[in-house]
């Protein structure tokens, strides 16, 4: 029985080989060679050609619905059609069939607290969109890497190489330490600029701005001991939970957009005609960026794990690159990356402005189950604090499903980044 890392390595190798091929050739003409090379290297068996093809399509940001479409056609479509379409998380059935699927032995279903996954013997595991929070827990739980989110890098390649349109990388606060213990933020900026990005912008800067909005909302909403504010600042999983399951709580919900959306909107206002690529730890951000009310802000979303594989594919050793570092944000914006960060940032700001109203009494919950338990309490009138912060992943964004290092280590990096 092979472990998860074996299957994960296979899928990531397909992605790296696809990036290498497209970056070098600029076309899909040699994509078929990837299939042959991976079989010749023994990473896949002859009977697994369909799995390689499905992984290539997903790595190019394409779906698996059209079984008659060749990989060359799918990749060519991805390069020239700039839209990544729903569903963003897809099941590779030939890999999914490796699972037992008998009652009680389905780790993907067990990981989903909202019952969004169903199993059909003919079609395999399916995701019910209306119930899905896009938290990524099922993707993390799948032992065979059958569940996969689409990668949004292929449509960006030509933009980066041709330099006709400025492309900015907006990177989430949890990025410190994600690309190596000895790789500092300035070296990550250097690598992105070498790839063709105009610059790297820390989303923590916009977290700083949104802290002031949260302070404003707190001062205007919380006037008695019974009042409370649910912060919506960071996490689309937390937001989805409230919208889909607790709409009655929306009157206590902060209307602020996330730092990611704020970053995209500001960059596009300042740099007319630019494209913005968000880089973060989260599958749910791919969904948020395509929300009909928000999709003016972010063009593409890449994860830390995907970005790490891209750096490897392009032979970029970040530890040897120049340090192009300059300050863009405060500690308050950077600690949005971990549980309690928003609360601490708001507390600091309230103190700085000389807040004279009701004292901040903040509580934080993380992980889908604990978030649900908190929302159940609020729904039933049990209010233990006046500032409620929820994060869908354990530890906050540092515990996202597409991070490269373990949660405590990532938290330490964030806390030490000054």
d(CA 203, CA 259): 6
293 shares a domain with 213 = yes
Residue 239 lies in a domain: yes
**Is residue 100 situated within a structural domain?**
yes
Say whether pLDDT at 379 is over 80: yes
Q: Please check the confidence at residue 103 and state whether its pLDDT lies above 70.
A: no
Does residue 219 share a domain with residue 127? no
Residues 221 and 331 in one domain: yes
Instruction: Please check whether residue 161 is in contact with residue 26, taking contact to mean a CB–CB distance below 8 angstroms.
Output: yes
Residues 142 and 177 occupy one common structural domain: no
259 & 372 share domain? yes
Residues 183, 67 within the same domain: no
Residue 104: band (very low, low, confident or very high) from pLDDT cuts 50, 70, 90: low
Rounded distance, CA 195 to CA 190, Å?
A: 9
The enclosing domain of 241 has a CATH number of 3.40.950.10
Among 112, 134, 154, the domain boundary falls at: 154
Where residue 131 sits, what CATH number does that domain have? 3.30.70.20
Q: Domain check: are 236 and 178 in the same one? A: yes
Residue 200: pLDDT band (50, 70, 90) is very high
Both structure tokens of 352: 């700085």
Cα–Cα dist 100/81, whole Å: 37
Among candidate residues 119, 154, 189, the one where a domain is terminated? 154
In this predicted structure, which of 23-37, 80-94, 120-134, 266-280 has the lowest mean pLDDT? 120-134
Residue 319 lies in a domain: yes
Range of the domain at 84: 4-154
Is the domain of 348 the same as that of 402?
yes
Nearest to 215 by CA among 201, 229, 197: 229
Q: Is residue 408 part of a domain?
A: yes
- Please check whether residue 10 is in contact with residue 44, taking contact to mean a CB–CB distance below 8 angstroms: yes
Asked if the structure places residue 159 within a domain, the reply is: no
Same domain, 47 and 170: no
Are the C-beta atoms of residues 284 and 133 closer than 8 Å to each other? yes
pLDDT tens by residue, 227-278: 999 997 789 999 999 999 999 999 999 888 999 999 999 999 999 999 999 9
Please say if the pLDDT value at position 105 is more than 80: no
**pTM for this predicted structure:** 0.96
Q: What is the mean pLDDT of the chain?
A: 93
Q: Quote the CA–CA distance of 17 and 38 in Å, as a whole number.
A: 9
* Total of domains in the chain: 2
Query: Is 127 a member of any domain?
Result: yes
| 298 shares its domain with 357 | yes
Instruction: Mark which of 128, 154, 180 sits at the end of a domain.
Output: 154
Q: Answer yes or no: is 160 within a domain.
A: no
Of all residues in the chain, the percent with pLDDT exceeding 70 is: 99
Whether 115 and 237 share a structural domain: no
More confident of the two residues 101 and 394: 394
Residues 21-36 have a mean pLDDT of: 93
Give the number of other CB atoms < 10 A from CB of residue 309.
24
Looking at residues 40-61, what average pLDDT do you find? 96
Contacts of 248 (CB under 8 A, 6+ apart): 379
Torsion of CA 277, 278, 281, 287, to 10 degrees: -90
Residue given tokens 């951000």 in the structure block: 285
Sign of the alpha-carbon torsion through 55, 56, 59, 64: negative
d(CA 257, CA 203): 13
114-148: b (≥16 Cβ within 10 Å) or e? bebbebeeeebbebeeeebbbbbbbbbbbbbbbbb
368 near 133, Cβ under 8 Å?
yes
Assigned domain for 249 exists: yes
**Same domain flag for 215 and 364:** yes
Between 418 and 400, name the one with better pLDDT: 400
Kind of pairing between the strands at 199-202 and 275-280? unpaired
3-class SS string, the chain: CCCHHHHHHHHHHHHHHHHHHHHHHCCCCCHHHHHHHHHHCCCCCHHHHHHHHHHHHHHCCCCCCCCCCCHHHHHHHHHHCCCCCCCCEEECHHHHCCCCCCCCCCHHHHHCCCCCEEEECCCEEEECCCCCCCCCHHHHHCCCCCEEECCCCHHHHHHHHHCCCCEEEEECHHHCCCCCCCCCHHHHHHHHHHHCCCEEEECHHHHHHHHHHHHHHHHHHCCCCCCCEECCCCCHHHHHHHHHHCHHHHHHECCCCCHHHHHHHHHHHHCCCCEEEEEECCCHHHHHHCCCCCCCCCCEEEEHHHHHHHHHHCCCCHHHCCCCCCCCCCHHHHHHHCCCHHHHHHHHHHHHCCCCCCCCCEEEEECHHHHHHHHHHHHCCCCCCCEEEEECCCCCHHHCCCCCCCHHHHHHHHHHCC
CB 316 within 8 A of CB 178: no
Predicted confidence at residue 1, as pLDDT, reads: 61
Is the pLDDT at 83 greater than 90? The verdict is no
């Amino acid at each position: 029985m092979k472990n998860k890392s074996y299957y994960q390595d296979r899928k990531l190798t397909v992605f790296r080989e696809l990036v290498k091929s497209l970056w070098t050739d600029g076309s899909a003409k040699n994509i078929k060679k990837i299939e042959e090379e991976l079989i010749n290297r023994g990473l896949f068996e002859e009977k697994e050609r369909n799995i390689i093809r499905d992984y290539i399509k997903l790595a190019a940001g394409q779906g698996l619905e059209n079984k008659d479409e060749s990989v060359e056609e799918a990749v060519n479509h991805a390069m020239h059609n700039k839209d990544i379409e729903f569903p963003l998380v897809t099941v590779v059935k030939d890999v999914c069939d490796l699972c037992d699927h008998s009652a009680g032995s389905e780790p993907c279903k067990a990981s989903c607290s909202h019952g969004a996954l169903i199993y059909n013997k003919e079609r395999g595991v399916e995701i019910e969109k209306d119930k899905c929070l896009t938290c990524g827990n099922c993707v993390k739980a799948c032992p065979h890497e059958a569940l996969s989110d689409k990668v949004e890098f292929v449509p960006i390649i030509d933009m980066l190489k041709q330099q006709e349109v400025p492309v900015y990388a907006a990177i989430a606060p949890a990025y410190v330490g994600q690309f190596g213990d000895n790789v500092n933020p300035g070296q990550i900026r250097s690598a992105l600029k070498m790839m063709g990005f105009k610059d790297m912008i820390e989303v923590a800067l916009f977290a700083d701005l949104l802290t002031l909005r949260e302070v404003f909302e707190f001062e205007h909403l919380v006037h008695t001991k019974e009042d409370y504010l649910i912060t919506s600042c960071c996490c689309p999983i937390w937001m989805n939970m409230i919208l889909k399951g607790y709409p009655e709580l929306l009157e206590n919900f902060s209307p602020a957009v996330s730092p990611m959306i704020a970053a995209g909107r500001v960059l596009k206002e300042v740099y007319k005609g630019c494209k913005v690529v968000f880089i973060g730890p989260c599958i749910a951000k791919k969904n948020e960026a395509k929300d009909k009310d928000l999709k003016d802000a972010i063009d593409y979303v890449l994860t830390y794990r995907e970005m790490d594989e891209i750096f490897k594919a392009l032979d970029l050793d970040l530890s040897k690159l120049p340090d192009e570092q300059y300050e863009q944000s405060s500690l308050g914006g950077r600690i949005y990356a971990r549980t309690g960060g928003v609360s601490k940032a708001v507390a600091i700001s309230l103190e700085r402005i000389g807040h004279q109203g009701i004292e901040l009494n903040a509580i934080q919950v993380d992980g889908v189950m604990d978030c649900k338990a908190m929302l159940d309490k609020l729904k039933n009138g049990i209010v233990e604090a006046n500032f409620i912060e929820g994060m869908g992943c354990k530890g906050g964004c540092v515990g996202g499903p597409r991070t490269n290092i373990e949660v405590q280590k990532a938290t330490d990096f964030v806390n030490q980044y000054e």
